[in-house]
């Protein structure tokens, strides 16, 4: 077995139907509140003009990334970042396919600009004046695990704190039928390679095979997890919210899992 990649979680951000931020998610998981009604993600790191024209995928990614960085107390401008999404902005992809098929001369330049897979990373790095490395990862249904492995590897290899944001929006049209992504979800983690007595440690080890989904036993959590590839993060988010040491397996590619030991601060 490979040696584990050990990283410490210094910040968390989350947006789900019913939970507009990490604090709300923790309250629901602890049984102190019920899922609520949320509006658009609050991507306040973006300038007002950018927020108005940004698509849902960008707002989701920027909202959770902003939450995680604020919790970490670090400077966004100095953080390398990994943005992971299984399908990108499915609504824009559906629009572009339909428009190109029917009225190609009416294609919106703004929507075309926002259609590229690394658009959220671009919005984030411009808004935060980040000159550190950024990457956009896609791994289909295993995207969250692939992004987590990429971010942890980068943190350990370069000995730097790294921001991970994983997000997907609901599919529409024929693409939505193919992807079966029925709701939006996003999560962000700031990972540090340096021991922190106040932070949760993740020991991440690649492992052959795919273990499948791991239900939490909570109806709301499991419905969110089933609705979105990035929501494969739900078991890990559940453990972090409850401050619970546990062992998880997360699919990171076909026939490859990552074994994640969640170890609480002493």
Tell the CATH topology of 5-197+213-243.
Peroxisomal Thiolase; Chain A, domain 1 (3.40.47)
Q: Are strands 162-168 and 246-253 parallel, antiparallel or unpaired?
A: unpaired
Of the candidates 65, 73, 83, 60, which has an alpha carbon nearest to the alpha carbon of residue 10? Answer: 73
Task: Name the residue ranges covered by the structural domains of the chain.
Answer: 5-197+213-243
What distances in angstroms separate CA 136 from CA 61, 88, 186, 264, one per listed residue? 12, 10, 15, 29
Note the pLDDT of residue 34. Answer: 85
Band (pLDDT 50/70/90 cuts) for residue 21 is very high
Residue 149 phi, psi dihedral angles, 5° rounding: -65, -40
Note the pLDDT of residue 36. Answer: 82
Note the pLDDT of residue 174. Answer: 87
DSSP letters for 53-84: H--HHHHHHHHHHHHHHHHHT--GGG--EEEE
Note the pLDDT of residue 214. Answer: 78
Residue 158 neighbours by CB under 8 Å, 6+ apart: 80
- The model scores a pTM over 0.85: yes
For the cut 80, the answer to whether the pLDDT of residue 266 exceeds it is no
Q: Are strands 81-84 and 246-253 parallel, antiparallel or unpaired?
A: unpaired
How far apart CA 52 and CA 47 sit, in angstroms, is: 9
Note the pLDDT of residue 169. Answer: 92
Band (pLDDT 50/70/90 cuts) for residue 1 is low
- What sections of the chain are H helices per DSSP? 22-29, 48-53, 56-72, 90-102, 109-114, 119-128, 143-158, 173-179, 219-226, 234-242
Band (pLDDT 50/70/90 cuts) for residue 57 is very high
The average pLDDT across 122-135 equals 95
The per-residue pLDDT for range 78-123, each reduced to its tens digit, is 999 999 999 999 899 889 999 999 999 998 988 888 888 899 999 9
Which residue in the block uniquely carries the two structure tokens 């330049």? Answer: 109
The per-residue pLDDT for range 169-225, each reduced to its tens digit, is 998 888 888 888 999 999 999 999 999 989 999 999 999 988 777 788 889 999 999
The per-residue pLDDT for range 227-256, each reduced to its tens digit, is 999 999 999 999 999 998 999 999 999 999
Q: Are 87 and 179 in contact (CB under 8 A)?
A: yes
For the cut 90, the answer to whether the pLDDT of residue 50 exceeds it is no
Note the pLDDT of residue 247. Answer: 94
């Amino acid at each position: 077995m490979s040696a584990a990649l050990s990283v410490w979680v210094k910040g968390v951000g989350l947006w789900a139907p019913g939970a507009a931020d990490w604090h709300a998610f923790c309250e629901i998981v602890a049984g102190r509140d019920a899922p609520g009604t949320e509006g658009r993600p609050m991507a306040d790191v973006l300038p007002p003009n950018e927020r108005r024209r940004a698509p849902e995928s960008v707002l989701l990614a920027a909202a959770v990334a902003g939450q995680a960085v604020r919790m970490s107390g670090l400077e966004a401008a100095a953080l390398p970042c990994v943005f992971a999404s299984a399908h990108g902005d499915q609504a824009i992809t559906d629009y572009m396919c339909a428009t190109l098929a029917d009225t190609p001369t009416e294609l919106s330049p703004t929507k075309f600009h926002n259609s590229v897979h690394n658009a959220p990373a671009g919005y984030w790095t411009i808004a935060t004046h980040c000159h550190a490395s950024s990457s956009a990862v896609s791994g289909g249904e295993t995207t969250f695990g692939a992004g987590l492995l990429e971010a942890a590897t980068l943190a350990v290899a370069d000995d730097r704190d790294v921001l991970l944001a994983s997000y997907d929006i609901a599919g529409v049209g024929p693409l939505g039928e193919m992807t079966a992504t029925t709701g939006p979800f996003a999560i962000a983690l700031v990972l540090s390679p340096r021991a922190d007595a106040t932070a949760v440690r993740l020991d991440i080890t690649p492992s052959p095979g795919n273990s499948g989904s791991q239900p939490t036993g909570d109806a709301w959590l499991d419905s969110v997890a089933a609705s979105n590839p990035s929501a494969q993060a739900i078991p890990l988010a559940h453990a972090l919210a409850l401050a619970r040491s546990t062992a998880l397996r997360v699919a990171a590619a076909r026939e490859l899992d990552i074994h994640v030991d969640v170890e609480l601060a002493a």
